[in-house]
Amino acid sequence: MHITTFLDRKLSRRFETYDSDQDGYVNRADFELAASRTSAAFGLTSDDRRARRFQEHLLGVWDHLSAMTDTNDDGRISVDEYKAAFAKGLLERPEAFDDVYVPYLDALMAVADHDGDGHLGVDEYMRWTTAWINLPEADAREVHARLDHDGDGLIGTEDLLAAIRAYYFSEDLDGPGAWLLGPLD
């Protein structure tokens, strides 16, 4: 797969958001930290069923990612390993994300959809993205607005999955996928 300049920028940004402790590598502890911060942002303790399910699915994302990218089996992923995996075909088709991301997004909604309406309002979205990827409030509001295609103030699992797919597969500089993790530097 050819890594365009735009995709390279997006991969760099995604790597930064995975690296919760900002040590220059992504490892299981980064995903554990993201899970605990997200659950705590919604007032859930680690023994809450929703928090445990969310952590389980987030660690499933880690397991999938590390199996595909950690070429030297050191238990951590460097930015070079991460990008090389994409160049070798980690992204062959958008539907491949469904197996990993749909269960994760369902678990996320169980935690972040505080009012239980099946969607994330802007405040729920901001709490989640601030806890998970340290997205500034203004950026979170902008991303939420870009993902809210019908303008009703709500985004659902399908909106998030479409944005995840677009993040990796679309070259639209202004599309919702480009903004999934905030503005690209």
CA distance 114 to 30: 24
pLDDT at 130: 92
- Cα dihedral 140, 16, 10, 66, rounded to 10, equals -120
Phi-psi sector, 78: left (phi>0), alpha (psi -120 to 50), beta: beta
pLDDT at 118: 93
Q: Average pLDDT of 50-70?
A: 92
pLDDT at 54: 94
pLDDT at 68: 86
HSE of 61, CA atoms in CB hemisphere, 13 A: 23
- Domain segments of the chain as ranges: 9-169
Spatial contact of 108 and 54, defined as CB atoms under 8 Å apart: yes
pLDDT at 89: 66
* Tokens coding 119: 């969607």
CA distance 94 to 169: 7
Buried b (16+ CB within 10 A) or exposed e, 14-27: bbbbbbbeeeebbb
The class of domain 9-169 in CATH terms is: mainly alpha
Q: What is the pLDDT of residues 73-90, one digit of tens each?
A: 999 999 999 999 887 766
Q: What is the pLDDT of residues 28-54, one digit of tens each?
A: 999 999 999 999 999 999 999 999 999
CA distance 180 to 167: 7
Model confidence band, residue 14 (pLDDT cutoffs 50, 70, 90): very high
Q: What is the pLDDT of residues 105-127, one digit of tens each?
A: 999 999 999 889 999 999 999 99
Phi, psi of 26 (to 5 degrees): -110, 130
Residue 120 β-bridge partners? 155
Q: Which residue has the higher pLDDT, 1 or 53?
A: 53
pLDDT at 33: 93
